[in-house]
């Protein structure tokens, strides 16, 4: 077993993330996580308090890796084009039959809402989705791309909900045609308010 001092937390979190993403929280054991990291379970718990702590750290790492998509959306000169590009990226993943794990946040939302601490973290992530979409929709209004009477709060909530539904669908029925239909309908809903 590797000495805990030589335990690479960043690398381990990437590995933990993949195991949790593949198997879910409940089916993953701390023994398995320790084996993947090449350390004993006691060494694992010197770094993390418990399995929940490891899982939340993995979810945060997963979420951090997705920030690039958000940054691309926010950095686009056109808010509407940024939103469209974001959805194209998600659509490409959702239609790929080799990527059927879906979204780790969506999977976690389905699996562990009976745990108050998990629920609090997941609620904060979903609120962030709403907020990020609303910021971009508000920017579209400010840029004159969307009508001022567009309900950006409702549209943001619709986009966030559609996003989770699309990623869930990808787990069981990845289909380019279906994904394109959903993307087109989603964008047409937003563009109904375009100037």
Short-list 110, 140, 121, 8, CA closest to 59 = 121
pLDDT in tens, 5-28: 566 888 889 999 999 999 999 999
Three-class SS of residue 194? strand
**What is the C-alpha separation between 37 and 13, in angstroms, rounded?**
9
Of the two residues 137 and 22, the one the predictor is more confident about is 137
* 146 DSSP assignment: B
The closest of 55, 75, 74 to 63, measured between CA atoms, is 55
Instruction: Write down the pTM of the prediction.
Output: 0.85
Closest CA to 104 of 69, 57, 154: 57
How confident is the model over 25-48, as pLDDT tens digits?
A: 999 999 999 998 888 898 898 889
Question: What percentage of the chain exceeds 70 in pLDDT?
Answer: 96
Task: Write out pLDDT tens, residues 156-194.
Answer: 999 999 998 998 888 887 788 989 999 999 999 999 999
């Amino acid at each position: 077993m590797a000495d805990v001092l030589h335990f690479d937390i960043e690398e381990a979190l990437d590995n933990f993330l993949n195991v949790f993403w593949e198997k879910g929280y409940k089916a993953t054991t701390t023994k398995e996580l320790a084996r993947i990291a090449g350390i004993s379970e006691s060494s694992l718990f010197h770094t993390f308090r418990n399995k929940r702590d490891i899982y939340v750290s993995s979810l945060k790492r997963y979420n951090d890796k997705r920030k690039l998509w958000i940054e691309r959306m926010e950095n686009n000169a056109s808010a509407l084009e940024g939103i469209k590009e974001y959805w194209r990226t998600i659509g490409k993943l959702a239609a790929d039959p080799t990527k059927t794990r879906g979204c780790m946040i969506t999977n976690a939302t389905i699996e562990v809402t009976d745990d108050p601490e998990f629920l609090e973290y997941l609620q904060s992530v979903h609120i962030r989705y709403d907020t990020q979409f609303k910021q971009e929709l508000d920017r579209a209004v400010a840029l004159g791309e969307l009508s001022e009477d567009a309900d950006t709060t409702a549209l943001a909530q619709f986009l966030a909900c559609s996003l989770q539904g699309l990623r869930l669908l990808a787990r069981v029925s990845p289909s380019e045609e279906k994904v394109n239909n959903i993307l087109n309908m989603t964008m047409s809903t937003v563009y109904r308010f375009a100037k």
